[in-house]
A and B are shown apart, each in its own frame.
Chain A
């Protein structure tokens, strides 16, 4: 599904955010990326959708390489949920925000409506569709942001710290929702409890380098490493 080979990302100011990353994700897998602030988690997700340019190496999604030319195609297959929902929700009505991607892809209003309805329904927020996104609670905003991505019907969803800014109740509901989605998911997070509940596989990043890549059971049991990396 996703194949990352020898990926290095250097920001224009010279910061090497990712260093020789190799990683492949199978269809339907839920993978957690953990690591302290600045480890490179967001950069990794952003490079898959081409927001951050690749310095060297390559990223392939379903045997389509991420290049400037293929970005429209890649972004149709890979949905990105940004860390701060306020950066993502910008329409003045929930319905229109979720309809944003389908409309951009030139669907008829009939198709748009059915996409919007089904994404809202799978997140349990049909009742919010007439509301103004920026006046919702944190948990509701997060759901709307995810619905907006689901409406593209991507096969992969990337989530950047999806449980940040959430109260325990909304957090729990969100985890349950994510567990029900059939999509391949790559989740950057600090939330180890969520990782335990949700992810089969965990990748540990430090200073842009992969420190471990194994099943959740094994990685989460390795308290010594997690402590050394200041993750717990």
Chain B
């Protein structure tokens, strides 16, 4: 249960990072959102045996991290959460794809290993870039940009509400857990026997709360439509430069070029 607190604290620490100030923070949210989307699509579109082509793509998140001064231990912690999924999916390849791709110092490397590595790399790159977007851009700015990109406002609203209600749920759980543990000093966490009541109570409280939030929204004229704020600058030049570079790197394998040059 204490991990609930740290989850709440996590959301908050991401949020406070987004309040920071750096070149990256000051970029137009639209520019960051579009380049991140393009980046993710590009990375995912790489052939699964094309490991060398992916390598230059690591430069973009690295530049973002250093310019935005995002603490990398925070990024690492969250990356670790995403890794098991990739590990599981990727590991299957090692068993099923046993043809030899190439040999390094008489060790045969199979296509399975190559695709495993490329899945891992794709995961790290995309998750890291999205995390950097979130930790340098406020949720409200991201949602406004999404609406402007013609993502259905209802979808954007549910995104924002989910985000809001997660904190509500965590807060309620935190309060209840504190009250519970103060009255049961010898128990670590919540006793299994009390779990049903605890979770049930949490549901009721959260529902009550959600109902009040909804009533308050209705009282301010809410009619299920999310209205975005004023249009900000788009940052066309930034988008053009980054996406241009990403496109070039997508179709010209820089690692191979450099490698061939060195060998020759």
Contacts and interface: CB of A to CB of B under 8 A. Distances in A.
B219 interface: yes
Nearest to B219: A80
A210 B197 CA distance: 38
A91 B216 contact: no
Contacts of B219: 49, 51, 75, 79-80
A152 B215 CA distance: 16
Chain A contact surface mostly: helix
Given A75-B219, A99-B229, A87 B209 contact: yes
B15 interface: yes
Q: Which of B15, B209, B213, B223 has the most CB of A within 10 A?
A: B213
Contact-residue bracket for chain B: 20 to 34
B138 A80 contact: no
B221 to A, nearest CB: 4
Nearest to A107: B227
B220 A148 contact: yes
Nearest to A46: B215
A104 B223 contact: yes
Given A84-B212, A87-B209, A92 B139 contact: yes
A75 B140 contact: no
A132 B140 CA distance: 10
Interface in A75-109: 75-76, 79-80, 82, 84, 86-88, 90-93, 95-96, 99-101, 103-105, 109
Given A51-B215, A87-B209, A93-B138, A134 B167 contact: yes
Contacts of A92: 15, 138-140, 160, 163-164
Contact-residue bracket for chain A: 20 to 34
A152 B218 CA distance: 13
Contacts of B171: 86
Contacts of A87: 209, 212-213, 216
Contacts of B161: 90
Contact of B220 (A109, A132, A149): A149
Nearest to B12: A135
A79 B139 CA distance: 27
Contacts of A75: 218-221
Interface in A95-148: 95-96, 99-101, 103-105, 109, 113, 132, 134-135, 148
Chain B contact surface mostly: helix
A100 B229 CA distance: 10
Interface in A36-53: 46, 49, 51
A103 B139 contact: no
A218 to B, nearest CB: 33
A104 B19 contact: no
Contacts of A57: none
Q: Which of B19, B217, B227, B229 has the most CB of A within 10 A?
A: B227
A152 B216 contact: no
B230 interface: yes
A152 B221 contact: yes
B115 to A, nearest CB: 39
Nearest to B223: A104
Interface in B191-239: 209, 212-213, 215-223, 225, 227, 229-230
A91 B15 CA distance: 13
A87 B192 CA distance: 31
A28 interface: no
B220 A96 contact: no
Contacts of B221: 72, 75-76, 101, 104-105, 152
A31 to B, nearest CB: 19
Contacts of A99: 229
A104 B229 contact: no
Contacts of B220: 75, 79, 100-101, 104, 148-149, 152
Interface of B: 12, 15, 19, 138-140, 160-161, 163-164, 167-168, 171, 209, 212-213, 215-223, 225, 227, 229-230
12 contacts: A51-B218, A75-B218, A75-B219, A82-B212, A84-B212, A88-B216, A90-B164, A93-B138, A109-B230, A132-B138, A135-B12, A135-B15
Given A82-B216, A87-B212, 14 more contacts: A46-B215, A75-B218, A80-B219, A82-B212, A86-B171, A87-B216, A90-B216, A92-B139, A93-B138, A99-B229, A100-B217, A132-B138, A135-B15, A152-B220
